[in-house]
């Protein structure tokens, strides 16, 4: 299913397109252009994910302290590395996209699943999270029949997701992991990827499992199809984005017997299906940021007194 974007905003259309390398732009000249120009003042730490977005100044993550004045003057700081997040949020006072909640929950399947248990317990497959010891292993085997799915807690794109078919598979998995994350195997041949920007689903499509494989992820051989998407699945993704404060994510959702189940969300998702949906992600992100930006803009960044 393709959810078509609306017409691009007038401010977006007026702005120049090229990304300006922050390292080669004088701060004072940039402050002047920001104070007199139209549109938002944007700084990005990820060149690839900012492509096509107008008025962006790219700064290398390692230049964060050198370019502090520019960062503090920006309306938004886009796509920082995880290691930058707390400094930008608490020391620089930056407004960050994607939202901090996406970083905090998206980096760890355990934390993400616990948030899902609180936000939508009826929409989470039966899942057990235990320590990787004998008691934890036995508790999972007593709760989940073979076959079931075991996941490593810090992977994406289908990596670290294993089909556990017997006790031998399980013993090997337990040996290799410090935390055990096990989930029922749902009777599906495909699942949904639903992309949410802000609080709105902007694209949705199915991912069909290949005949030779277990994963539906496109990176692992899954095939994208555009059959109709149940409105309840879209509503679940939008509800989770709203309730958890997530503004940029690809939600992975299964549809079983007219009921939606959420597996996870990916903060930095692939874009293979978006072009076929007719979605310009840069426009969608810009529109969201524009709507969330305060109208008053100081002409210079705040200055702190030297210690």
For residue range 161-194, list pLDDT tens digits in order. 999 999 999 999 999 899 999 999 999 999 999 9
Q: In the predicted model, what is the mean pLDDT of residues 182-209?
A: 96
Q: Is 150 helix (H, G, I), strand (E, B) or coil?
A: strand
Domains of the chain in sequence order: 10-98 (no CATH), 126-184 (3.30.1490.20), 188-288 (3.30.470.20)
183 vs 231: CA distance, rounded Å: 25
Higher-pLDDT residue of 274, 27: 274
- The CA R_g of the chain, rounded to the nearest whole Å, is 22
The overall average pLDDT reported for the chain is 86
DSSP of 188-252: -SEEEEEEEETTEEEEEEEEEPPTT-S---GGGT-EEE-----HHHHHHHHHHHHHHT--EEEEE
DSSP state of 129: E
Q: In the predicted model, what is the mean pLDDT of residues 233-249?
A: 98
Q: In the predicted model, what is the mean pLDDT of residues 56-61?
A: 96
249 vs 103: CA distance, rounded Å: 10
Q: So what's the pLDDT on residue 25?
A: 46
User: Max Cα separation, the chain?
Assistant: 67
232 vs 219: CA distance, rounded Å: 26
Is pLDDT of 138 > 60?
Answer: yes
CA 212 to chain centre: 28
Determine the length of the chain.
307
Cis preceding linkage at 191, omega within 30: no
Q: So what's the pLDDT on residue 15?
A: 36
**Is residue 256 a contact partner of residue 113, using CB atoms and an 8 Å limit?**
no
Is pLDDT of 130 > 50?
Answer: yes
304 vs 307: CA distance, rounded Å: 9
Q: So what's the pLDDT on residue 297?
A: 55
Query: Tokens 């874009």 belong to which residue?
Result: 271
Q: In the predicted model, what is the mean pLDDT of residues 87-112?
A: 96
Q: So what's the pLDDT on residue 9?
A: 39
Q: So what's the pLDDT on residue 157?
A: 53
Ranges of H-type helices in the chain: 10-14, 27-36, 47-50, 68-73, 85-86, 100-106, 109-119, 134-143, 167-176, 231-244, 272-277, 281-292
Q: So what's the pLDDT on residue 221?
A: 83
Q: In the predicted model, what is the mean pLDDT of residues 215-241?
A: 94
Q: 9-52 pLDDT, tens per residue?
A: 333 333 333 333 444 445 655 655 554 455 799 999 999 999 99
Q: So what's the pLDDT on residue 33?
A: 56
Q: pLDDT tier at 278 (50, 70, 90 boundaries)?
A: confident
240 Cβ contact partners less than 8 Å away, ≥ 6 residues apart: 116, 119, 120, 246, 251, 262, 265
High-pLDDT (> 70) share of the chain, %:
82
Q: Is 303 helix (H, G, I), strand (E, B) or coil?
A: coil
What are the b/e assignments for 32-43, b being 16+ CB within 10 Å? Answer: eebeeeebbbbb
Is pLDDT of 254 > 80?
Answer: yes
Q: So what's the pLDDT on residue 243?
A: 98
Higher-pLDDT residue of 278, 115: 115
Q: 255-264 pLDDT, tens per residue?
A: 999 999 999 9
C-alpha closest to that of 33 among 73, 90, 84, 79: 73
281 vs 151: CA distance, rounded Å: 29
Cis preceding linkage at 147, omega within 30: yes
């Amino acid at each position: 299913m393709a959810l078509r974007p609306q017409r691009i905003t007038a401010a977006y259309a007026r702005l120049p397109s090229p990304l300006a390398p922050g390292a080669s732009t004088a701060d004072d000249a940039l402050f002047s252009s920001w104070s007199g120009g139209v549109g938002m003042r944007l700084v990005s730490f990820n060149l690839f994910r900012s492509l096509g977005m107008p008025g962006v100044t790219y700064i290398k993550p390692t230049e964060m302290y050198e370019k502090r004045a520019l960062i503090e003057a920006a309306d938004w700081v886009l796509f920082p590395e995880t290691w930058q997040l707390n400094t930008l949020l608490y020391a620089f006072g930056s407004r960050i996209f994607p939202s901090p909640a996406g970083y905090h929950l998206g980096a760890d399947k355990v934390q993400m699943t616990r948030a899902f248990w609180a936000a939508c317990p009826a929409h989470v497959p039966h899942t057990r999270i235990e320590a990787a010891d004998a008691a934890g292993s036995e508790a999972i085997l007593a709760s989940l029949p073979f076959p079931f799915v075991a996941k490593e807690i810090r992977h994406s794109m289908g990596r670290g997701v294993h089909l556990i078919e017997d006790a031998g598979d399980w013993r090997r998995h337990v040996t290799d992991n410090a935390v055990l994350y096990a989930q029922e195997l749902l009777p599906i041949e495909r699942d949904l990827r639903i992309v949410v920007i802000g609080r709105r689903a902007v694209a949705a499509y199915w991912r069909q499992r290949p005949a030779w494989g277990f994963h539906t992820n496109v990176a692992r051989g899954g095939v994208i199809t555009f059959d109709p998407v149940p409105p309840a699945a879209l509503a679940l993704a939008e509800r989770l984005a709203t309730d958890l404060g997530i503004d940029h994510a690809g939600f992975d959702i299964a549809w079983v017997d007219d009921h939606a189940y959420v597996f996870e969300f990916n903060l930095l998702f692939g874009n293979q299906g978006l072009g076929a949906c007719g979605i310009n992600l840069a426009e969608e992100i810009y529109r969201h940021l524009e709507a969330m930006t305060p109208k008053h803009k100081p002409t210079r960044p705040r200055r702190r007194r030297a210690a």
